[in-house]
Amino acid sequence: MIRIPKSDKRVSLGIFDSDLTVSGSRTGAFVTAAIVLIAFIALPLARPFLIGTAVAGLVVGIALWRKHNHRRGGEFAAADKNVLNF
């Protein structure tokens, strides 16, 4: 919720209208995991959805990782000495 100065009008931030902002750090990952765990425990009807989204995310993540790391010749791109390994 955003309060406009000199006014008490409320500005909607979207469909879900949430003020929760989670950073992309380890702390944000911990907060997100805690929210998912609470939803998994507290909402039995949400369990199939949470499990399904985790499986779908894993499949898409592995597919993108494989596409990113393979060359046309079938060798891994990381074997190239010009590629930076982080």
Note the pLDDT of residue 58: 95
Domain that holds residue 1: 1-42
1 with 31, same domain: the answer is: yes
What is d(CA 19, CA 75) in angstroms, rounded to the nearest whole number? Answer: 46
Coil, strand or helix at 83: coil
CB 43 within 8 A of CB 31: no
Note the pLDDT of residue 75: 56
Tokens (6 digits) for 78 = 């990381």
83 with 52, same domain: the answer is: yes
**pTM of the predicted structure, to 2 decimals:** 0.50
Domain count, the chain: 2
27 with 49, same domain: the answer is: no
52 with 78, same domain: the answer is: yes
pLDDT in tens, 45-57: 989 998 999 999 9
pLDDT in tens, 55-67: 999 999 999 999 8
CA dihedral 41, 46, 60, 85 (to 10 degrees): -30
What is d(CA 67, CA 64) in angstroms, rounded to the nearest whole number? Answer: 5
